[in-house]
Amino acid sequence: MNADSVPPHLFAVTRPLPLEDVSRLLEYTDAQHPLAWIRDDRGCVGVGELLRYDFFGEDRFAAANDIWQKISALSTVDDPLNLPGTGLITFGTFAFDARSEASSLLVVPRMVIARNATQAWITEISTTPIDDEPKLPERQTESSWRGTKLLTDLADEAYLSGVRGAVAQIDRGEAEKIVMARRVISAIDASDDLRIPLDRLAERYTDCWTYALDGMMGASPETLIRQTGGGITARVLAGTRGRREDELADARERDELLANKKEQHEHVFAVQSVVTALSPHVNDLQVSPEPFALKLPNVWHLATDFQATPGDGVSSLELTAALHPTAAVAGTPTSDAIEAIYQLEPFDRARYAGAIGWMNSHGDGEWVIALRCAQIGEAVDGERSVTAYAGGGIVAGSDPSHELQETVSKFRPIAEALAP
Are the C-beta atoms of residues 391 and 255 closer than 8 Å to each other?
no
* Beta-sheet pairing, 11-17 with 76-78: parallel
Residue 410 annotated as catalytic: no
Peptide bond into 137 cis (omega under 30): no
Residue 70 annotated as catalytic: no
CA separation for the pair 286, 296 (Å, rounded): 24
Q: Which amino acid is at 305?
A: D
CA separation for the pair 262, 396 (Å, rounded): 8
| Annotated active-site residue in 124, 177, 266, 366 | 177
Angle at 205 between CA 188 and CA 322, to 5 degrees: 90
Output phi, psi for 378, to 5 deg: -75, 160
Non-local CB neighbours of 59 within 8 Å, separated by 6+ positions: none
CA separation for the pair 342, 353 (Å, rounded): 14
Query: CA dist 130 to 33, 79, 362, Å?
Result: 25, 13, 21
Nearest of 286, 281, 276 to residue 315 by alpha carbon: 281
CA separation for the pair 145, 190 (Å, rounded): 10
Q: Which amino acid is at 72?
A: S
- Concatenated DSSP letters of 196-217: HHHHHHHHH-TTSEEEEETTEE
Are the C-beta atoms of residues 11 and 129 closer than 8 Å to each other?
yes
| Annotated active-site residue in 27, 124, 222, 318 | 222
Q: Look at residue 279 and give its three-state secondary structure.
A: helix
Non-local CB neighbours of 323 within 8 Å, separated by 6+ positions: 224, 225, 234, 273, 274, 277, 278
Angle at 94 between CA 419 and CA 54, to 5 degrees: 110
Non-local CB neighbours of 302 within 8 Å, separated by 6+ positions: 237, 238, 239, 240, 257, 258, 263, 264, 267, 291, 292, 293, 294
Q: Show which residues are catalytic.
A: 177, 222
